[in-house]
Chains A and B, each alone.
Chain A
Amino acid sequence: MRHGNYAFIYDDFLNDRKFERVLSEVDAKLASLDLTGRVGRLTLFRNARDIVQSLVQDGDTTVVVVGNDRTLDKVLWFLPDMQVTMAYIPVGPPTNVASLLGIPIGAGACDVLSARLIEWLDVGRLDDRYFLSEISLLNTNAAIEVEGRYRISPYKGGSIFIRNLGSLTETKPEWANAKDGLLEVLIKPVEEKGGVGLFRKSEAPVTKLFLSSGSIVSDQPVEIKADYYTANGMQFSIGVEPKKLRFVTGRNRRISPEGEGLQKVRHDANLTGI
């Protein structure tokens, strides 16, 4: 059964021949599920927002991004303001966001799209730009100021991560709660070297706190990444827009404690053969 209009956005890297097979599988699956709609292709010299706006029709439109996490980043900076539902068919790395949202890679994502399990997700903000997953500052002396009340910083330097949905920079995705109206701040100080082999020190302790708004300040220009967007500067505002984006997610999503619970229930059901 179809729900509203679909607009499919394909990334230009999919023109590579190595994606021919997976794309044909995706297209066949979409057709078998009667999930069809208008199609647009991102290109180097066309603004992504213009392409999406030309495809989005009046009414309940689902914008389906076909590509990878970088493709998501190309549309996420404006999509939360467009009153549409977002969906994702990942076909190649990086796919950390797909993992956090419980979306399988390739044609399996079409079943998720068909099931239409829609979640209202928080969206983070770095100055005027939206982000979904996290902000990161590596090897920095920058500080976080919260509403002029207090300031927190790694005093010997370290890395700062501000997460909405979860980690993009870790080798193993780490999830944050994207439904609590808060950003999770992690500060990892520079590790102190000491010992060798078995006596080597374990991971540096991690500072963890939650906030809804604040700013990042530094005495010197620093590089900051919000998902795959990079900026340089000495001061940035950060915040979160609660329940700003409707996203079609998989049942194995990890976006809140409830989502994790769902995953556990499903696991138990598998064990008992239900």
Chain B
Amino acid sequence: MQNGVSNGMTVIAKGVKVEGDFDSQGDVMIEGQVNGHVSTNGLLTVGNEARLKADVSAANAVIAGDLEGTVNVSGRLELKSTAKIQGDVTCETAIVEAGAALNGKFMVGQVKTPSTTRQNEAKNASKES
């Protein structure tokens, strides 16, 4: 197990660097540096001093810092005015503050998760039969 479930939020504070695949359960707050991959089934908060060179996936996310990589959010994504993203962004719903910078594709709605894709394929197959 990498990061376990506990009552506390996972915090990567300023002055700390993470390298590799950082998978977590629960809410994650990042103010430091991450190189690699970040995923969580909770809320991901990227603070305005955070520097991520990482592909990220989360249930919900609030991004205020620099992020280089793809962003995949199954629920709500909030981009703060200080956010700078280089990479494609996919989410179900989005709130974008004036001043947020995005260099990449921005796809809102119709997030395809593996489970929903499989369910749709199964429905289609049953209709055809």
What is the interface of chain A, defined by CB distance below 8 A to chain B? 146-147, 149-156, 158, 177, 180-182, 184, 187, 189-190, 204-213, 257
The verdict on A211 contacting B4 (CB below 8 Å), with A149-B20, A150-B19, A150-B22 known, is: yes
Q: Is the CB of A152 within 8 A of B18?
A: yes
Q: Does B120 contact A (CB under 8 A)?
A: no
User: What chain B residues lie within 8 Å of A156 (beta carbons)?
Assistant: 15
Give Cα distance in the complex from A158 to B32, angstroms. Answer: 14
The verdict on A205 contacting B20 (CB below 8 Å), with A177-B6, A211-B1 known, is: no
Q: Does B57 contact A (CB under 8 A)?
A: no
User: What chain B residues lie within 8 Å of A158 (beta carbons)?
Assistant: 15-16
What is the interface of chain B, defined by CB distance below 8 A to chain A? 1-24, 31-33, 36
Q: Is the CB of B4 within 8 A of A149?
A: no
Give 5 new A-B contacts, CB below 8 A, not counting A152-B17, A177-B6.
Answer: A208-B9, A208-B13, A209-B11, A211-B1, A212-B1
Give Cα distance in the complex from A30 to B24, angstroms. Answer: 48
In order of increasing CB-CB distance, the 7 nearest A-B pairs are: A189-B15, A150-B20, A205-B13, A182-B4, A207-B13, A210-B6, A208-B11
User: What chain A residues lie within 8 Å of B19 (beta carbons)?
Assistant: 150-152
Please, which residue of chain A has its CB at the minimum distance from the CB of B7?
A257
A-B contacts counted at CB < 8 A amount to: 93
Q: Is the CB of B14 within 8 A of A189?
A: yes
Give Cα distance in the complex from A190 to B16, angstroms. Answer: 10
- Partner pick for B13 among A206, A211, A213, CB 8 A cutoff: A206
Give Cα distance in the complex from A237 to B8, angstroms. Answer: 24
Give Cα distance in the complex from A189 to B49, angstroms. Answer: 15
A selection of 16 A-B contacts at a CB cut-off of 8 Å is A149-B23, A150-B19, A150-B36, A153-B17, A155-B17, A180-B4, A184-B6, A187-B13, A190-B15, A204-B14, A207-B11, A207-B12, A207-B32, A210-B5, A211-B3, A257-B7
Q: Is the CB of A152 within 8 A of B16?
A: yes
Give Cα distance in the complex from A207 to B10, angstroms. Answer: 8
Q: Is the CB of A154 within 8 A of B15?
A: yes
Q: Is the CB of A182 within 8 A of B6?
A: yes
Q: Is the CB of B10 within 8 A of A210?
A: yes
Q: Is the CB of A184 within 8 A of B17?
A: no
Give Cα distance in the complex from A152 to B32, angstroms. Answer: 11
Give Cα distance in the complex from A151 to B2, angstroms. Answer: 11
Max count, chain B CB within 10 A of own CB: residue among A206, A210, A212 = A210
Smallest CB–CB gap between A159 and chain B, Å?
11
Smallest CB–CB gap between A217 and chain B, Å?
12
Smallest CB–CB gap between B39 and chain A, Å?
11
